[in-house]
C-alpha cells in the first residue's frame, strides 16, 4: 500500500474501535487463514470458498467482522464530504432510499440523513458482533440458531454503505487515489455474499451494472 493510501486508511479516520480476534482462538486462526489467501494474491472467487473441514458459521462470523472493519474504514475516508447538507437522505441515486429501523428507538422505517444512518448502522452492528450470545468467541460454544439470519441482515445493510459511497462519493474516493483499494474490497465482499447466498438479489440491484463489469 502506498504512503498516500496508508494515510487515507489511517486507523484514526475510522469512527469506532476495531473488533479484533483473540490470538489462540479458532476464529483468530481462521482470520489468519483468510488473510493469508488474500495476501497470496489468490483469485478472490477462490479466496472466499469455505476451507476444507471448517465450520460455515465460523467462516461467516470471521468475514462479517472483517467486512465491518474494512467498510467502516472506507466510509471514514469520505465521511468529511458526507454531511446532513450534502446527503439529507440515505440513498443510492434517485431510485433507492434506505430508511433506518431497529428494535429500540426506530421501530418503524425512518428517513434519516446518510451520516446519521451510517452512525446508527455501525453502532447497531457493533452491538451484535460484541454480543457473545450471537458471535461466540469461545471454542465449543455453539452459534445460536438465528446466527445466519443476523449475519445476512448485517451484510445486506453493509452493502448499502457501498451503494452510497459508489453512487454519491466516488469522486472523493478517486481524488484520494483509493479506488483500487475500495474496488478490491467490494469484489471480495460481493464474491463472499454470493458464494453463500447471504444477500437477496433485489438488494444487489443498485450496483448491478458496475458489478457486472467488475466481477465477471
The more confident residue out of 161 and 26 is 161
What integer pLDDT is reported at residue 158 of this predicted model? 97
- Tens of pLDDT along 67-114? 999 999 999 989 999 999 999 999 998 999 999 999 889 999 999 999
- What is the rounded CA–CA span in Å between residue 94 and residue 106? 24
What integer pLDDT is reported at residue 43 of this predicted model? 83
What integer pLDDT is reported at residue 1 of this predicted model? 41
What integer pLDDT is reported at residue 19 of this predicted model? 57
Residue 134 within any structural domain of the chain: yes
* 116-121 long-range contacts, CB within 8 A, separation 24+: 116/84, 116/90, 117/90, 118/75, 118/79, 118/82, 118/90, 118/161, 119/15, 121/157, 121/158, 121/160, 121/161
The grid coordinates listed for 78 are 469520505
What integer pLDDT is reported at residue 14 of this predicted model? 46
Look at residue 115 and tell me whether its pLDDT is greater than 80.
yes
Q: Name the DSSP letter for residue 24.
A: T
What integer pLDDT is reported at residue 215 of this predicted model? 87
Residue 160 within any structural domain of the chain: yes
- Tens of pLDDT along 128-171? 999 989 998 877 789 999 999 999 999 999 999 999 999 999 99
Residue 15 within any structural domain of the chain: no
The more confident residue out of 49 and 3 is 49
What CATH code is carried by the domain that includes residue 62?
A: 1.20.140.30
- The secondary structure element, H or E, covering residue 127 is helix 114-129
Q: Percent of the chain, pLDDT > 90?
A: 65
Contacts of 89 (CB under 8 A, 6+ apart): 97, 111, 113, 114
How confident is the prediction for the chain on average, in pLDDT? 86
Look at residue 49 and tell me whether its pLDDT is greater than 70.
yes
Look at residue 185 and tell me whether its pLDDT is greater than 70.
yes
- Could you tell me which of 196, 188, 200 has the C-alpha nearest to residue 211? 188
- What is the rounded CA–CA span in Å between residue 120 and residue 128? 13
What integer pLDDT is reported at residue 12 of this predicted model? 45
Residue 21 within any structural domain of the chain: no
Q: Which domain holds residue 98?
A: 26-214
Contacts of 67 (CB under 8 A, 6+ apart): 155, 158, 189, 192
What integer pLDDT is reported at residue 46 of this predicted model? 87
Residue 55 within any structural domain of the chain: yes
The more confident residue out of 115 and 180 is 115
Is the distance from CB of 138 to CB of 144 less than 8 angstroms? no
The grid coordinates listed for 172 are 472523493
Is the distance from CB of 162 to CB of 189 less than 8 angstroms? yes
Residue 169 known to bind ligand: yes
The grid coordinates listed for 173 are 474516493
Residue 185 known to bind ligand: no
96 in helix, strand or coil?
Answer: coil
Domain count, the chain: 1
CB atoms within 10 A of CB 47: 20
Residue 5 within any structural domain of the chain: no
Look at residue 200 and tell me whether its pLDDT is greater than 50.
yes
Residue 47 within any structural domain of the chain: yes
Amino acid at each position: 500500500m502506498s504512503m498516500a493510501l496508508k494515510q487515507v486508511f489511517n486507523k484514526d479516520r475510522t469512527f469506532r474501535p476495531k473488533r479484533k480476534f483473540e490470538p489462540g482462538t479458532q476464529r483468530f486462526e481462521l482470520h489468519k487463514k483468510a488473510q493469508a489467501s488474500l495476501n497470496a494474491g489468490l483469485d478472490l472467487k477462490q479466496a472466499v470458498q469455505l476451507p476444507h473441514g471448517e465450520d460455515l458459521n465460523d467462516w461467516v462470523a470471521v468475514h462479517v467482522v472483517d467486512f465491518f472493519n474494512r467498510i467502516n474504514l472506507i466510509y471514514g475516508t469520505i465521511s468529511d464530504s458526507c454531511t446532513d447538507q450534502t446527503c439529507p437522505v440515505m440513498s443510492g441515486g434517485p431510485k433507492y432510499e434506505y430508511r433506518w429501523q431497529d428494535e429500540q428507538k426506530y421501530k418503524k422505517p425512518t428517513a434519516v440523513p446518510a451520516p446519521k444512518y451510517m452512525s446508527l448502522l455501525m453502532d447497531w452492528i457493533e452491538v451484535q458482533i460484541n454480543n457473545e450470545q450471537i458471535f461466540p468467541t469461545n471454542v465449543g460454544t455453539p452459534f445460536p440458531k438465528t446466527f445466519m439470519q443476523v449475519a445476512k441482515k448485517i451484510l445486506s445493510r453493509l452493502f448499502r454503505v457501498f451503494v452510497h459511497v459508489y453512487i454519491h462519493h466516488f469522486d472523493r474516493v478517486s481524488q484520494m487515489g483509493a479506488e483500487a483499494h475500495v474496488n478490491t474490497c467490494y469484489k471480495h465482499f460481493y464474491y463472499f455474499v454470493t458464494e453463500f447466498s447471504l444477500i437477496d438479489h433485489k438488494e444487489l440491484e443498485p450496483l448491478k451494472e458496475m458489478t457486472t463489469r467488475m466481477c465477471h
